[in-house]
Amino acid sequence: MLQVVIDKDVCVACGACVLAGPDVFDQNEDGQAIMIVDEPDESLRDQIEESIDACPVQALKIVEPAQEAA
Q: Is residue 49 part of a domain?
A: yes
Does pTM surpass 0.75? yes
Q: Is residue 43 part of a domain?
A: yes
The average confidence (pLDDT) of the chain is: 93
Residue 49's CATH number? 3.30.70.20
pLDDT, tens digit (0-9, with 9 covering 90-100), for 42-61: 999 999 999 999 999 999 99
pLDDT, tens digit (0-9, with 9 covering 90-100), for 9-20: 999 999 999 999
Q: Is residue 39 part of a domain?
A: yes
Domain count, the chain: 1
Q: Is residue 9 part of a domain?
A: yes
Mapping DSSP onto H, E and C, the string for 1-70 reads CCEEEECCCCCCCCCHHHHHCCCCEEECCCCCEEECCCCCCHHHHHHHHHHHHHCCCCCEEEECCCCCCC
pLDDT at position 1 is: 86
d(CA 6, CA 11): 8
pLDDT band at 70 (very low <50, low <70, confident <90, very high): low
